[in-house]
Amino acid sequence: MTLMNDKVHAYKDQIGELSDVLPAVVKSYHEFTGECFQAGAIDAKTKQLIALGIGLFANNEVCTFYHVEEARAKGATDQEIMETVAVAGAVGGGHALSQGAMRVQKALH
């Protein structure tokens, strides 16, 4: 198994254990996220790519691995996945730059 698969499986195992303790919470979470990721005005592949970008921005390793896997399962190409990485990088860089321009410059004056 790869590191990616190991991490995703470990997460799923831990969610299973959490379900033993908080079954209604885990069930509700899975129903909610399952509904959110259904194809609608936005197709399921694009939703997975959006989630990947957010996972990268949030520095969430498990989400990153999971959503790469799910995006591929929904038909995303390596190019689409890497363009998602680039967009997440642009948003992350833009976030730091905009906050620096706004907050830091304000603090300096």
Taking the CB of residue 85, how many other CB atoms lie within 10 A of it?
15
Q: What is the pLDDT of residues 6-17, one digit of tens each?
A: 888 888 888 889
Rounded to whole angstroms, how far apart are CA atoms 70 and 36? 14
Q: What is this structure's pTM?
A: 0.85
Domains of the chain are 1-108 (1.20.1290.10)
What pLDDT, in 10s, does the model give residues 95-104?
889 988 899 9
Give dist(CA 64, CA 49) in Å, integer: 10
Q: Which two tokens stand for residue 79?
A: 């190019």
pLDDT tens per residue across span 30-67: 999 999 999 999 999 999 999 999 999 999 999 999 99
Q: Is the pLDDT of residue 3 over 90?
A: no
